[in-house]
């Protein structure tokens, strides 16, 4: 059954067809039909992806070339799809989680008008299409097409309710910050083209791996990888480009789950994992990535401690978790990072969808201070949410434990300090997640009576994805059981081995003592457990207060004032430079000069005109003088 | 015998020329519109025919020539090479689009309006086809004069002032070029009939010393730079775009600015390679400064027309810089981008025109919330705007990607600086979309009507072209491959 | 007779003409002075023609009177000019009842 690899193009094309049907027919389609089409195409893609995955697992990898995208004297770029272990795993995550979120959306967005409903599904399908292009691309260009495409869909979906200008601002911010990263990505690609004259993954990686023919110097590789990482910071919301992600919560909640938690934001990790050989050859870049990842993880975790908007907490938690993944990439734990991408996709999608279910029940309320005690109204949401919280807090045997532990372990090997800081972040994660859980589901209800009356468990289209994701959040980690628990338990590592093999050749792996490993695990799990219990006990009795935050709490709830800082350092100066150029340089300077020439001609002709007195005698006199002058010049000079 | 004289290049010039002259005698408005539309479609047909007529891409592929002013070595010789095919196609595509999009506008004295439009088309075709320096100059001016009348008769309030500035500015540039042409002519080798020759081959093989090249280069470059326009010669453009009737603005920004770029590729680079190598850095820095400068200014514009003008200046600046890198990849990018930019900017103008016709204003601050009442218009605009910021799978991506790539091979730091325009383009374009189309509708914009079928058709066609060239750009590369390689042999 | 005499006479005539044009206000007298200048030029042409003819005439008989032909041209032009000019003066006189050239700056306004 090799032929499924011949029709891999169907996997992205099906969502594209769904996009076209929903987009073009949005005025005529019923909600049921557009929901059905929107979810159906993703389901078919998912089934195909499973099939592809099985093929890949049997060892059939494949690069499909469809046509020459660019074929010129200077450059050859094919429309290539690469199917290997890494991309097939991402295919599964994207189409699988994507399908669940589509199903969820059919219910969540049901209050929209039919044409907006269809538009929503059109955008969502377009997003899946772009994301699939991103992971299936066989060269940097196809990847970049998807890379920008997901940014566009993110923009469209954040600004889905476009009447509200705050949402539009958030959408614009997301797009522009992504664009800053994209510039880095593009520069890296230009650099690659300049040096290797190709963008093809296979060619570049085999060129680089070959020490004899390697056209890239260490400086080149460091530069390229740093620029690629700039691209990743934009897309995956790392310092300094992370501020768009919390604002992106303006979009519908399923969008936050799909785009801003499970898939798009992991594109940066995918890209670095894909080009792991380059990064392994640039130790400097790796340490930069590790430090930035760690700093982001901590910074976002501190901010999440004090947020009261349920989606904002999850957003900062996402930023923080992405930081862990980058830490993993930075210390060379590519498998660990990809593993965390996978488990994170499960539990973070679950948490967002659960939050969506809560928001749905609360009639649009997102402030946790007005929630509380929802446990007894929404049992399925409650239980699944709890499982998600346990998974993200890294409690064994939930999925988050395995993936996070792997990253932490690798970080310890690299530098114990990394590990120490990362564990503090993990404790904060446990704390703010259970703060969130306790404030939402425990205690007594703090909202209005109207809201209380309205509280209800969500319909099956919402709870079904929650249940599936909850199961995955629990068992998802079992594909990567560490060696110390079970020999050969890390099936994911074995599966991904061919992709990361070149890097593993470069970076020597050393193993920790089993006792050390147990100790590290014990500390992180124990610490998280303490944080968890503390948060649980403290916030289950939460009462609404009107007291202003003070001191460090105020700084945290204002997100370290980073937005204000960017505003003052970048946005405002840009505005005033633009105003200066427009009002002074352009109007007074350049245009003034040009118009000045015109005015000068006008003025001088007005002066010279006075010579034209109309007195014939004057003219003749001037003529005579002119002739005399000519004579003098002719004969005497 | 007849076939020796009437060929595709001739048809491309003479159909609009004759149709335009005849147009002046048509009495009824509907007749004038129909006649000019027919002529535009006929030209388009010929232009498409030229793509299939000959697979032979070299300059001699479709060259025809007979003596014009034999005694001074000038001849009426036209030829159609790759870049010529591309730009004549762009010209031929633009005019039907412009005519259909503005079909509902009524102009006073329509016969003259459409007649002058067609004459401008004839001039443009001549510029792209001429392979004789004197003929090139002749058409260069012929394209300018109808536009002058179009702007000064049918323009906005301050049209006289703006048009005067435009005319004097470009005319001054043309005169510099004329001096350059005459001087170069005097250096050319003798022909059997005269002492010198205006033929393109003579100009390309002209022997001038590096010292002479230095100043000849600037004579030509300033003429082209004003036309494009390159910073700091650009200030005529926003004024002219703002004051001209939109049909003329489309013509100016979609096709006419390409004359400058075309002039660089066809004449300046092959003639003075040493001077190009010498001054490339200055020109590139000027162009890139202009790119960033215009992008920043675009953020601050309130008038949609001025907004589009500055956005266009930014894009053209990048193309000019890419040409001067003399890198294969950059030039290939320029070729496709010349076409793409024409299509995109015309699309943008059509949207602006529709808004203005519908609501009577084009101030960004007075608009908002159009997306509620006119979703189709909004979708079309968003696609065009995304093409404007070179999103992948739209036509502009391939071109910009390759141009930047060439620029990178030229100099990394200039590329980093120029790359800021990628971000700034997103800033100003999204700002515009948000302020004009999103948000709550105000009392004025609540009255907007959805666009009609033929407008949907035109914009739909543009969108299709945007995606076609974005997904499958290869035909454009094949078309211009030989032009690029022949050109670059001079720089090896 | 040496050609110098003709030149002196001609220069004298020309200067009289110039001074006349510059100083007189009567349009008809100005006209006559212009004629004087033209005829000074004519005189020179004839004189030089004769001189060259004497020098070269034996070898090139065809050169004989080429310069003198210009004199006829000038006379024709002068005649044409006078007829137009006088017509203008008549018209001015009808309008302003004066032929003072200083009144002719009306076009300026």
| pLDDT of B324 | 92
| pLDDT of A509 | 65
| pLDDT of C60 | 65
Instruction: Please provide the size of chain A in residues.
Output: 637
Angle in degrees, 0-180, between the axes of helices A218-235 and A267-274, rounded to the nearest 10 = 160
Inter-residue contact B451 to B374 (CB < 8 Å): yes
Place of tokens 């053209």: B316
Structure tokens at A542: 């939460």
pLDDT band at A450 (very low <50, low <70, confident <90, very high): confident
| pLDDT of B442 | 82
Closest CA relative to residue B425, chosen from B270, B330, B318: B318
CA of A452 vs chain B CAs: smallest distance (Å): 32
| pLDDT of B261 | 92
Q: Which range scores top for mean pLDDT: A83-97, A356-370, B472-486?
A: A83-97
Closest Cβ–Cβ partner in A613, A614, A620 for C21? A620
Instruction: Indicate contact of C with A: 3+ CB pairs under 8 A.
Output: yes
Judge: C104–A617 Cβ closer than 8 Å, yes or no.
Answer: no
Place of tokens 């100066």: A573
| pLDDT of C65 | 63
The structure's pTM equals 0.87
**Residues in contact with A456: Cβ distance below 8 Å, sequence separation at least 6, in sequence order:** A361, A377, A378
Average pLDDT, integer, range A210-224: 85
Range name among A377-381, A576-580, B7-11, B86-90 with the lowest pLDDT average: B7-11
| pLDDT of B3 | 46
| pLDDT of C108 | 54
Quick check: B56 pLDDT over 60? no
pLDDT, tens digit, 9 for 90 and up, residues A520-531: 888 888 888 888
Q: Using the Cα atoms of residue A97, residue A99, residue A104 and residue A105 in order, give the sign of their dihedral.
A: positive
Quick check: A593 pLDDT over 50? yes
For A622, which residue in chain C has the nearest alpha carbon?
C22
- pLDDT above 70 covers a percentage of chain A that reads 98
How far apart CA A577 and CA B44 sit, in angstroms, is: 45
Give residues 21 to 50 of C whose Cβ lies within 8 Å of A. Answer: 21-22, 25, 30
Instruction: Tell me the DSSP string of A506-546.
Output: HSPP-PPPHHHHHHHHHHHHHHHHHHHHHHHHHHTT-----
pLDDT, tens digit only, all 109 positions of chain C: 788 899 999 999 999 998 988 888 888 898 899 899 999 999 998 888 888 777 766 666 665 566 778 888 889 999 998 899 899 888 888 888 888 877 766 655 5
Quick check: B58 pLDDT over 50? no
**Residues in contact with B339: Cβ distance below 8 Å, sequence separation at least 6, in sequence order:** B86, B87, B89, B90, B395, B469, B476
Closest CA relative to residue B491, chosen from B367, B326, B354: B326
Question: Residue B386, Cβ neighbours under 10 Å: how many?
Answer: 25
Which chain C residues are within 8 Å of A615, Cβ to Cβ? Answer: 102, 105
How far apart CA B441 and CA B11 sit, in angstroms, is: 49
CA of B113 vs chain A CAs: smallest distance (Å): 29
Quick check: B362 pLDDT over 90? no
pLDDT band at A224 (very low <50, low <70, confident <90, very high): very high
Average pLDDT, chain B: 86
Q: Which chains touch A (3 or more CB pairs under 8 A)?
A: B, C
Mapped onto helix, strand or coil, the DSSP state of residue B190 is coil
Which of residues A627 and A557 earns the better pLDDT score? A627
Quick check: B1 pLDDT over 50? no
pLDDT, tens digit, 9 for 90 and up, residues B342-354: 999 999 999 988 8
pLDDT, tens digit, 9 for 90 and up, residues B448-486: 888 888 888 889 999 999 999 889 988 888 888 888 888
| pLDDT of A1 | 45
Structure tokens at A38: 């929107």
Instruction: Please provide the size of chain C in residues.
Output: 109
**Residues in contact with A185: Cβ distance below 8 Å, sequence separation at least 6, in sequence order:** A144, A147, A227, A228, A230, A231, A234, A271
- pLDDT above 90 covers a percentage of chain B that reads 24
Structure tokens at B285: 């820095």
Q: Identify from A74, A144, A169, A601 which residue to disrupt to test chain B contact, counting B C-beta atoms within 10 A and taking the largest count.
A: A74
Judge: A74–B404 Cβ closer than 8 Å, yes or no.
Answer: no
pLDDT, tens digit, 9 for 90 and up, residues A453-497: 888 888 888 888 899 999 998 888 888 888 777 777 788 888 888
pLDDT band at A343 (very low <50, low <70, confident <90, very high): very high
pLDDT band at A574 (very low <50, low <70, confident <90, very high): confident
């Amino acid at each position: 059954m090799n032929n499924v690899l011949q029709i891999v193009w169907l996997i992205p094309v099906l969502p594209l067809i769904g996009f076209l049907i929903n987009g073009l027919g949005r005025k005529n389609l019923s909600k049921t039909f557009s929901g059905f089409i929107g979810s159906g195409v993703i389901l078919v893609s998912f089934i195909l992806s499973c099939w592809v995955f099985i093929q890949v697992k049997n060892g059939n990898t494949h690069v499909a070339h469809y046509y020459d995208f660019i074929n010129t004297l200077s450059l050859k770029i094919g429309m290539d799809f690469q199917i290997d272990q890494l991309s097939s795993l991402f295919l599964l995550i994207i189409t699988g989680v994507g399908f669940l979120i589509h199903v969820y959306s059919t219910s969540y967005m049901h209050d929209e008008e039919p044409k907006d409903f269809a538009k929503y599904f059109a955008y969502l399908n377009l997003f899946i299409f772009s994301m699939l292009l991103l992971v299936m691309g066989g060269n940097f260009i196809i990847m970049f097409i998807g890379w920008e495409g997901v940014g566009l869909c993110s923009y469209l979906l954040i600004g889905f309710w476009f009447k509200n200008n705050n949402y539009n601002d958030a959408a614009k911010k997301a797009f522009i910050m992504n664009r800053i990263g994209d510039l880095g990505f593009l520069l890296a690609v230009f650099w690659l083209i300049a040096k290797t004259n190709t963008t093809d993954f296979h060619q570049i990686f085999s060129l680089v791996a070959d020490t004899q023919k390697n056209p890239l110097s260490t400086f080149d590789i460091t530069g390229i990888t740093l620029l690629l990482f700039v691209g990743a910071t934009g897309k995956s919301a790392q310092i300094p480009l992370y501020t768009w992600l919390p604002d992106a919560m303006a979009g519908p909640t399923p969008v936050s789950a799909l785009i801003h938690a499970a898939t798009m934001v992991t594109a940066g990790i995918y890209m670095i994992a894909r080009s792991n050989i380059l990064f392994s050859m640039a130790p400097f870049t790796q340490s930069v990535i590790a430090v930035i990842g760690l700093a982001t993880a901590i910074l976002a975790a501190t901010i999440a401690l004090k947020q009261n908007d349920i989606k904002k907490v999850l957003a900062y938690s996402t930023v923080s978790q992405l930081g862990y993944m980058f830490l993993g990439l930075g210390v060379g734990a590519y498998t660990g990072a990809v593993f965390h991408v996978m488990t994170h996709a499960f539990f973070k999608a679950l948490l967002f969808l659960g939050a969506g279910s809560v928001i749905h029940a609360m009639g649009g309320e997102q402030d946790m201070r007005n929630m509380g005690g929802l446990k007894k109204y929404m049992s399925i949401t409650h239980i699944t949410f709890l499982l998600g919280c346990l998974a993200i807090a890294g409690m064994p045997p939930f999925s988050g434990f395995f993936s996070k532990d792997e990253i932490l372990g690798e970080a310890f090997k690299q530098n114990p300090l990394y590990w120490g800081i990362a564990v503090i972040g993990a404790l904060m994660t446990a704390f703010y997640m259970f703060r969130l859980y306790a404030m939402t589901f425990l205690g007594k209800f703090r909202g209005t009576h109207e809201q209380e009356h309205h509280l209800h468990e969500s319909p099956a289209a919402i709870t079904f994805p929650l249940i599936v994701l909850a199961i995955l959040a629990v068992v998802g980690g079992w594909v990567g059981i560490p060696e110390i628990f079970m020999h050969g338990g890390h099936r994911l590592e074995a599966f991904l081995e061919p992709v990361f093999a070149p890097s593993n050749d470069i970076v020597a792996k050393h193993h920790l003592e089993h006792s050390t490993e147990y100790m590290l695990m014990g500390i992180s799990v124990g610490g998280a457990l303490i944080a968890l219990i503390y948060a649980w006990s403290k916030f289950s009795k939460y009462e609404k207060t009107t007291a202003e935050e003070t001191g460090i709490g105020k700084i945290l709830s204002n997100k370290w004032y980073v937005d204000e800082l960017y505003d003052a350092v970048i946005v405002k100066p840009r505005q005033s430079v633009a105003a200066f150029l427009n009002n002074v340089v352009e109007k007074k300077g350049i245009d003034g000069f040009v118009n000045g020439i015109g005015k000068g001609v006008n003025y001088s002709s007005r002066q010279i005109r006075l010579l034209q007195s109309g007195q014939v005698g004057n003219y003749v006199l001037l003529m005579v003088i002119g002739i005399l002058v000519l004579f003098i010049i002719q004969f005497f000079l | 015998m007849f076939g020796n004289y009437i060929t595709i290049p001739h048809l491309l010039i003479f159909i609009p020329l004759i149709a335009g002259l005849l147009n002046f005698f048509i009495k009824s408005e509907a007749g004038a519109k129909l006649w000019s539309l027919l002529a535009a479609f006929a030209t388009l047909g010929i232009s498409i025919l030229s793509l299939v007529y000959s697979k032979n891409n070299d300059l001699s592929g479709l060259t025809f020539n007979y003596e014009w002013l034999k005694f001074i070595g000038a001849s009426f010789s036209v030829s159609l090479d790759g870049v010529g095919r591309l730009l004549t196609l762009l010209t031929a595509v633009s005019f039907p689009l412009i005519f259909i999009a503005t079909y509902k506008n009524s102009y006073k004295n329509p016969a003259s309006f459409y007649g002058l439009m067609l004459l401008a088309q004839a001039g443009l075709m001549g510029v792209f086809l001429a392979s004789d320096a004197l003929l090139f100059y002749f058409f260069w001016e012929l394209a300018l004069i109808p536009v002058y009348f179009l702007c000064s008769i049918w323009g906005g309030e301050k049209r006289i002032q703006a048009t005067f500035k435009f005319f004097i500015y470009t005319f001054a540039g043309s005169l510099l070029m004329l001096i350059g042409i005459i001087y170069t002519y005097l250096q050319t080798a003798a022909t059997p009939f005269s002492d010198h020759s205006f033929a393109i081959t003579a100009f390309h093989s002209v022997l001038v010393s590096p010292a002479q090249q230095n100043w000849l280069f600037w004579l030509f470059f300033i003429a082209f730079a004003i036309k494009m326009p390159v910073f700091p010669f650009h200030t005529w453009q926003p004024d002219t775009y703002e004051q001209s009737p939109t049909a003329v603005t489309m013509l100016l920004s979609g096709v006419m600015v390409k004359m400058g770029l075309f002039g660089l590729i066809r004449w300046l680079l092959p003639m003075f390679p040493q001077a190009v190598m010498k001054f490339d850095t200055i020109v590139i820095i000027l162009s890139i400064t202009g790119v960033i400068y215009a992008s920043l200014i675009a953020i601050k514009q309130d008038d949609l027309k001025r907004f589009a003008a500055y956005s266009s200046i930014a894009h053209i600046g990048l193309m000019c810089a890419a040409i001067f890198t003399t890198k294969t990849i950059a030039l290939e990018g320029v070729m496709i981008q010349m076409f793409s930019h024409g299509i995109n900017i015309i699309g943008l103008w059509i949207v602006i025109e529709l808004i203005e016709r519908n609501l009577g204003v084009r101030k960004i601050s007075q608009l908002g919330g159009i997306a509620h009442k006119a979703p189709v218009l909004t979708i079309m605009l968003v696609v065009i705007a995304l093409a404007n910021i070179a999103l992948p799978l739209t036509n502009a991506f391939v071109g910009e990607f390759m141009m930047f790539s060439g620029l990178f091979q030229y100099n990394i730091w200039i590329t980093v600086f120029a790359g800021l325009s990628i971000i700034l383009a997103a800033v100003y374009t999204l700002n515009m979309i948000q302020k004009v189309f999103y948000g709550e509708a105000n009392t004025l914009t609540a009255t907007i009507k959805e666009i009609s079928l033929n407008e949907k058709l035109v914009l739909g066609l543009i969108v299709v072209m945007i995606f076609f060239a974005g997904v499958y750009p290869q035909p454009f590369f094949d078309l211009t491959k030989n032009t690029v390689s022949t050109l670059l042999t001079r720089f090896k | 007779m040496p050609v110098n005499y003709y030149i002196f006479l001609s220069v004298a005539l020309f200067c009289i003409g110039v001074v006349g044009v510059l100083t007189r206000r009567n349009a008809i007298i100005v006209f006559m002075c212009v004629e004087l200048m033209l005829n000074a030029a004519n005189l020179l042409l004839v004189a030089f023609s004769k001189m060259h003819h004497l020098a070269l005439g034996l070898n090139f008989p065809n050169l004989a009177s080429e310069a003198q032909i210009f004199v006829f041209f000038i006379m024709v032009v002068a005649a044409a000019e006078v007829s137009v000019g006088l017509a203008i003066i008549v018209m001015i006189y009808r309008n302003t009842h004066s032929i003072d050239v200083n009144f002719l700056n009306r076009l300026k306004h």
